Structure 1
Amino acid sequence: MRAPGAEAPASRRVPRTTPRTATRRPVRRWLTSYALLAPALVLFGLFVLYPLVQAVRISMTDSTGIGEARFTGLDNYARMVGDPVFWRAAGNTVLLALVSVPTSVATGFGLALLLRERLPARGLFRALFLAPYVLSGVVVAMAGRWIFDQEVGVVDRALTQLGLPAPDWQSSGAAAAVSVFVVLFWARTGLVVVLYLSALQGVDRDVLEAAELDGASRRQRVRYVTWPLLRPTTFFVVVLMVVEVFQTFDVVRVMTGGGPAGATEILVTYAYAQGFQARAEGYGSAIGVVVFSVVLLATVVAWWVQRDSEEVA
């Protein structure tokens, strides 16, 4: 027992924190955090933020890439309102997103459930599904162009052998749009499969076994247990696929070039045609800014919907 007035042992002394020390700690943490983030922030500024600012600036000029550009304000954006080709490209882009995103998500989820089971050569199938996404978009588009070629295409030969009429893939608008959709579906679904496979590894087996003991069938377990647990993954996949659709360029450019008669023209290919072929850089940049704004708005809205649904749950 320590006598009154005696000092506490050195090992039991608690160092006092002065106000100055308490103030320095958050500052040090703040500086350390931003020092670690500095390389990524610099790269983001150089390759994302600066080009975006430049695109907005050019979109308010009549730049042609040659000579001095004159500031025109919002004239390029007003031009879009009366441009029927722009609205057709916008409609094609939205239609492609509405068709391809749900199809890729549903198919990818189903294939992920199948590949989760113990199947022979399961690893090989996983690699085959991801291969089109890993390959260059130009390579995939060239393969798709050969497959759907009107003269020597595999699809036309197979249809002819079956006694069915072969569509004019390069000269018919509807057929060209179908060919682009099929190639994009083939190229993008593999990524969805891999993302869902990774998410399925994190599903608690005990929850599924408890549902099975309660009498839930396999279909009910997928619908009421697995699918709700994968909601964050589904949100990420949907946003990613929407962004992919709005950024699609190489497949459409190589396969159809936006034709025939603009049937497969989408916003990105139209912006390229205006900026680099028609030499209307200002107008092409304005279309690019609109695409970026739409994708950003869709992402924010989807994020708000996802957050509200999680709060309700």
Structure 2
Amino acid sequence: MSGKAVKINFKKKLNRDDGWAWLMLAPNVIGFLMFMLVPMAATFVLSFMQYDMLTPARFVGSDNYKTLIHDPIVWEVTWNTIVYTILTVPIGLCLSLLLAVALDNIRHFKRFFRGAYFLPSITSMVVVAIVWQWIYNPEYGIFNWVLSWFGIPAQKWLTSSATSLLSLAIVGIWKKLGYDMIIFLGGLQGISTSYYEAAQLDGASKVQIFLRITVPLLRPTIMFAFIMAMISSFQVFDQVSLMTKGGPGRSSSVLVHYLYQNAFQYFKMGYACAIAYLLFAIVLILTAINMRQEKRMREIY
């Protein structure tokens, strides 16, 4: 009889704990449903519609996707997005990792340097755009001033099709450097110092310690940072819109910028939703490939 009473009381306590758990989770669950799941479902439905936000939506089947496949601008901006990703992700992660290792080894002013490097990642993109437009100014910008020391003529960084995308990539690397640095610093804190002490006793150099110990043990952190950086780079929009508006021509336009133009400038909401799902498919495939590769590497090592 007592055992049965204990079982009933335990069940009541479990139900009460479950209720509190759901109550605590409710804001996040509601937010996910309202601002993620429902908009994703609405976007998918609208991708099969012709909708200009002024007249009722009209079902057109797969016409938006057929137009997308034969639209040369879509593939041009997709290529620009891929180039931007190639420029920003590997370079940005390498610099962030080296910076994290350097900051992890310094003894003085560690908090100051962490805050200083992290500050750009939380600074408004509007402020960042204004500062970097001044830096890139072809007449009195800092970049051209430095180039003049070496006798190199002034460049039109943001208004030349040859350098506009590269200029945006430099801004992207600089702004995200501190965020990835913090991620790597967290990973470095989880590596036991005994590995480094054993390597030093064996006479390993700092480069060997970094390549043979730090990088392998940070592999899960590196993969996480890589996937997040890749997703972020494919979603780049703000600096493109603020600094170049996709120009000159389409030389610095990216997928999200073209999506925005179709949705809110050309009022082709259905077509914009189809572009959104193209972007979703690309990011999903690349993320799946990276996660599969990481799983294979774990099995090997």
TM-score (norm 2): 0.92
**Inter-partner Cα distance in structure 1 for 2:74 and 2:204:** 51
| Aligned residue number for residue 270 of structure 1 | 258
Corresponding position of 2:102: 114
Equivalent residue number for residue 249 of structure 1? 237
Deviation at 1:22, TM superposition (A): 10
Structure 2 match to 1:4? none
Between structure 1 and structure 2, the one with the greater Rg is 1
Aligned to 1:301: 289
The letter for the 1-side match of 2:221 is T
Unaligned 5+ segments in structure 2 are: none
Deviation at 1:218, TM superposition (A): 1.4
In the other structure, the counterpart of 1:11 is none
1:219-268 deviation line (CA, Å, top 9, x unaligned): 11111111111111101100110111011111111111101110001000
1:42 maps to 30
Paired position in structure 1 for 2:227: 239
Tell me how far 1:79 sits from its aligned partner.
0.7
The DSSP-based 3-state class of the residue aligned with 1:184 is helix
1:179 aligned onto 2:144: no
**Residue 206 of structure 1: which of 194, 199, 202 is its match?**
194
| 254, 258, 261: which one aligns with 2:246 | 258
Q: Does residue 16 in structure 1 map to residue 21 in structure 2?
A: no
Partners of 1:251 and 1:87 lie apart in 2 by 20
- Post-superposition Cα deviations, 1:23-50, rounded to whole Å, max 9, x if no partner, equal 9479736655444422211110011111
Q: Secondary structure at the match of 1:279?
A: coil
In structure 2, how many angstroms separate the alpha carbons of the residues matched to 1:160 and 1:104? 27
- Aligned-partner Cα distance in 2 for 1:195–1:239: 13
Q: How far, CA to CA, are the matches of 1:68 and 1:31 in structure 2? A: 43
Between 46-55 and 31-40, report the one with greater CA deviation.
Answer: 31-40
| Percentage identity across paired residues of the two chains | 31
1:169 partner SS: coil
Following superposition of structure 1 onto structure 2, how do residues 17-166 of structure 1 map, counting pairs within 5 Å?
Answer: 17=4, 21=8, 24=11, 28=15, 33-166=21-154
The 1:312/1:153 distance shift into structure 2, 3 A limit, reads same
Counterpart of 1:192 in structure 2 is: 180
In the alignment, does 2:215 pair up with 1:227? Answer: yes
RMSD across aligned C-alpha pairs, in angstroms? Answer: 2.3
Which residue of structure 1 lines up, in the alignment, with residue 276 of structure 2? 288
- Structure 1 residues 43-77: Cα deviation after superposition (integer angstroms, max 9, x where no partner): 10011111111111211111111111101122111
- Give the Å deviation of 1:297: 2.7
Shift of 1:124: 2.3
Corresponding letter in the other structure for 1:253 = S
Task: State the secondary structure of the residue aligned to 2:152.
Answer: coil
Q: Which consecutive residues of structure 1, in runs of 5 or more, have no partner in the other structure?
A: 1-13
Write the distance in 2 (CA, Å) between the matches of 1:25 and 1:231: 44
TM-score normalised per structure 1: 0.88
* Counterpart contact for 2:159–2:244, Cα < 8 Å: no
Give distance in 2, aligned partners of 1:224 and 1:26.
Answer: 50
Q: Distance in 1 between matches of 2:150 and 2:218?
A: 42
Preserved CA contact (<8 Å) 2:223 2:294: yes
Q: Tell me the distance in 1 between the aligned counterparts of 2:56 and 2:84.
A: 38
Give the length in aligned residue pairs. Answer: 300
Q: 1:120 to 1:164 in 2, by over 3 A?
A: farther
The residue identity in structure 1 corresponding to 2:94 is A
